[in-house]
Amino acid sequence: MVLGKVVGTVWATRKDEELVGMKFLIVRHLDVQHKLKETFVVAVDTVQAGVGDVVLVTSGSSARQTAVTKNKPVDAVIVAVVDKLDIQD
């Protein structure tokens, strides 16, 4: 899983039928110091995350392992809203 910050929402009316009802968020990748990186990913939200939240994003075929995304054409999913990060390095 990688760390990211929700920076926006994606709206798409014409899409795969299996994706109907899903919420798509734009997640910018974050480094350990909570600094935004240039890269981002569009991820399906399963935990009611909102803009500004720091989240964990799971990608690849593991992204289909939630109740919402099972067997759906999805390769990135928000699986947690991060409360706190304890870095000891």
Query: DSSP of 6-40, one letter per residue?
Result: EEEEE--SS--GGGTT--EEEEEEE-TTSPEEEEE
Work out how close the CB of 3 gets to other proteins at its nearest, in angstroms, rounded to a whole number: 7
Contacts of other proteins in 4-33 (CB under 8 A): 31-32
Contact call for residue 56 and other proteins (CB under 8 A): yes
β-strands 76-81, 36-45 pairing: parallel
The tokens of 76 are what?
A: 């990135």
Segment near other proteins (CB under 8 A), from 6-14, 20-28, 66-74?
66-74
| Residue ranges binding other proteins (CB under 8 A) | 1-3, 31-32, 46-49, 56, 58-63, 65-67, 69-70, 77, 79-89
